[in-house]
Structure 1
C-alpha cells in the first residue's frame, strides 16, 4: 500500500475530534525527527499539541495542515468513523478528506525531499490544532514566535489536488443589547433589549460593506447567523445577542469595517470580535503556483478560490506575506459530512505533486 495512504489510515484511527491532537502530533514528530527535521512541539492546551519542524538552511517553503477534526454529527455512520476502512478507491473516516490525507501526503513528501540527492530547498512543516474553531493553534504558534519567514506557503486542505489561490476572510462579530426587565403585562416599566437587537439586525441587513467586488474572490457579504434573547414569555428581556458573519476580500481592512458597522448600529448595540481572519490571495502567474501546476496540480481555472477559510489567514502574514497555494488530496464536498472519505489515488497523486514541485524550486 502507498506509504501516504497507510499514514492517512494511521491518523484517521486516532480520534482528534475537537481536541486530542497530541496523539496525532506525536507519531508525526517522531517521523519528521527521524528524517532529520528539528522538531518543536507547541502545546495549545492540555492534550492539544501541534508542531513546527525545520530542515535545511536558508528561507524555507512552509507546508501546513491541521490535526483536529469536527464532531461526527448525529446521523449514524455506515463506515466506522475511526476505522480507516478502504472500499475500492475510497478511504473512509472522520478527517480523511479534512484533512489527515493532506497531512500524511505532506509528511511523506517532506521525507522524500530530504532523501533526494542534490541541492534542495529548505522546509518548514507546521501542523496546527484548533483550526476548525477559528485557527486558534496557528494564532498561538505565531504569538509564541514559532513560525518564521519563508518563501512560500502550501496549505494541504481539501481541493481534490487543484491549486487554489486564496479564500475570503472571516470577521465574526457578537452584537449585544441591554435593557431593563419588567413584567410582560407592564412593558412600559421596562426597556426591551430584543427590540434594540431587532433594530441592529435590520441595520446589518441594509449595511453597505463599501468594498468593490474582487475579480476572483467575488463580493464581500454579511449574514446574521444567530439571535437570542429573553428568558420567558411574560417578562421584558434585559439582554439580547446576535452573531454576524462578515466574509471579506483581499485588501479589506477589518478594523475599519468593524468601525463602520458600529457606526451603522449606533449606541444601542455593543460589538465584540469572535474571529478575525483576513482574506488570502495569490496571483495566478506567481512562480509557486506555476511550480505546483507543472508538477501535476489542477490549474486554478474559473473558480480559483476556496469556499472555506484556512490557517493561511494567520500563517501567510507570519511567513512574510508570501505566495500561498491551497492544494490537497481531500474532496472539498466531503469535509464535515457523515461517512467522509478521500480517494486513495488522490493521496498518492498529492504526494507526487508536492515532491515534484519542491524538487523544481531553486535553493
Structure 2
C-alpha cells in the first residue's frame, strides 16, 4: 500500500484536465477492492467516471461518506517552474491537482483502506470520487441519479482548507441573460430594435438588486456579478442579439427557484434568464454534535484552533448533501485554497500526512472502531 505522498504523486502524474478521470479511478479502485470495498464506477461520458465504494453499509447506522473529485483545471498559459505532473521539493509536492484536490482524494482513500482492516461496531464507510466537478459537478449529479440510492450519514468533502474545518459554502447560480431584437442599418436605427439597449437596461437594474435579507453571520451577504456581455455583429448595424452571463452567490436559507423568479421580474419581459449552473449553498451548524466532534479531532491532530468559517468556492456537497437528505457536511482537506488553479500549484507534505490521520480518526469515530 503506498503512503499518502506517493499516492498523491501517482494521481498528479495522470492528466485529468477536464477529461480522463477514469484513469485515476483505475489507480484507486484496486486499492479499495483489495481492502474489501464494493466498488462501482459509472461514466457520464466516455473516460469520465465517478466511483462509489461501500464498506459495511448494511449496518443500522448510515455510513460516513468521504468525497473528492479527480478532475483538474488546465495548466494555464504561464510556464511552470516545477513539473506540472508531480515534483517533490522539501515539504512541497508540486503539480496540477496537488491541492485541488488529488491530495485530499489520496488521503481519504488511504484512511478508508486502513479502517477497512478493522471491524466496525456501529457504521461503515462510503467513498464518492467524482469526475467533472470543476465544470458544474456533473459527476456528482450522475452519481446521485444512478449510484446513490441508499441512506448516508455525514459527509466530508476533502477540498483544500489547509486541514481547517469549514462548515459550508455559498451556492452558485450562474445565469445567461438573453435579449433579442431586429437588425437594421446603423444609419437608420429607428427601423430596428436594439437588443443591446434592452440588455444594458436589464443588467443595470439587476446590478442594483437588493436580495432583501441580512448577511449570514459566517457566509456574509449574497452577491451578484455580471461577468460577460456580448452583442452585435458590426458597428453599422442595429444588434438583434445580446447576451450576458451573471454569477449569483447565495447563502444558507435562500431558494434558487425563488431567486431566479425575482431576478426575472427585475430584468423585465424583454430579457430571458436561463440557468447555466445551479448549485445550492451548504451549511452545517458548527455547534452540532458531529461537527463539534470533527473540530475536536482536527484540533488534536493539527494543534490549531478552529473557528466557524465558510469556503469561497463551491463543492460537490451542493449535489451530494441534498441527495443524502441534507446530512451534516464539513469541508476539510490538506490543500491550500490559495493554490487552487494557480501556476506551480503545490500541497504541503505535512498537511497531507495530517489529513490522512484526520480522516482515519474521523472514520474510526463514526464507525466506532
Per the TM superposition, whether the score is higher than 0.5 is yes
Q: In structure 2, the residue corresponding to 1:361 is in which secondary structure?
A: helix
Match in the other structure for 2:121: 119
**1:344 has 2:365 as partner:** no
Structure 2: distance between partners of 1:321 and 1:16: 30
Aligned residue-pair number? 361
- Give the C-alpha shift of residue 296 in structure 1: 2.5
Q: Match of 2:269, SS?
A: helix
8 Å Cα contact 1:97-1:332 kept in structure 2: yes
Would you say the 8 A contact 1:8–1:104 is kept in 2?
A: yes
Aligned to 1:168: 170
SS of equivalent residue, structure 1 residue 137:
helix
Whether 1:215 and 2:220 are equivalent positions in the alignment is no
Gaps of 5+ in 1: none
- Aligned to 1:296, the other structure's residue is in SS state helix
**Cα offset, 1:220, TM superposition:** 0.6
- Separation in 2, partners of 1:98, 1:308: 11
Deviation at 1:294, TM superposition (A): 2.1
CA deviation profile, 1:205-261 (whole Å, cap 9, x unmatched) = 111212321111110111100001011111111000001111111110110111111
Task: Report if aligned partners of 1:295, 1:354 keep a CA contact under 8 Å in 2.
Answer: no
Give the Cα–Cα distance (whole angstroms) in 1 for the partners of residues 176 and 243 of structure 2: 7
| Cα displacement (A) at 1:276 | 0.7
d(CA) in 2 for partners of 1:274, 1:25: 28
Tell me what 1:301 maps to. 307
The answer to whether structure 1 residue 75 and structure 2 residue 78 are counterparts is yes
Query: Deviations for 1:52-93, whole angstroms, at most 9, x for unmatched residues?
Result: 0000032100000001000111100011211x1110000000
Structure 1 residue aligned with 2:137 = 135
- Give the C-alpha shift of residue 141 in structure 1: 1.2
The 8 Å contact of residues 125 and 363 in structure 2, kept in 1 or not, is answered as: no
| Unaligned segments of structure 2, at least 5 residues | none
CA distance in 1, matches of 2:150, 2:320: 9
Corresponding residue number in structure 2 for 1:152: 154
Q: Distance in 2 between matches of 1:129 and 1:118?
A: 29
Relative to structure 1, the CA distance from residue 273 to residue 75 in structure 2 (aligned partners, 3 Å threshold; closer, same or farther) is: same
1:277 alignment partner in structure 2? 279
- What is the match of residue 259 of structure 1? 261
Q: Is the 8 A contact 2:51 2:128 kept in 1?
A: yes
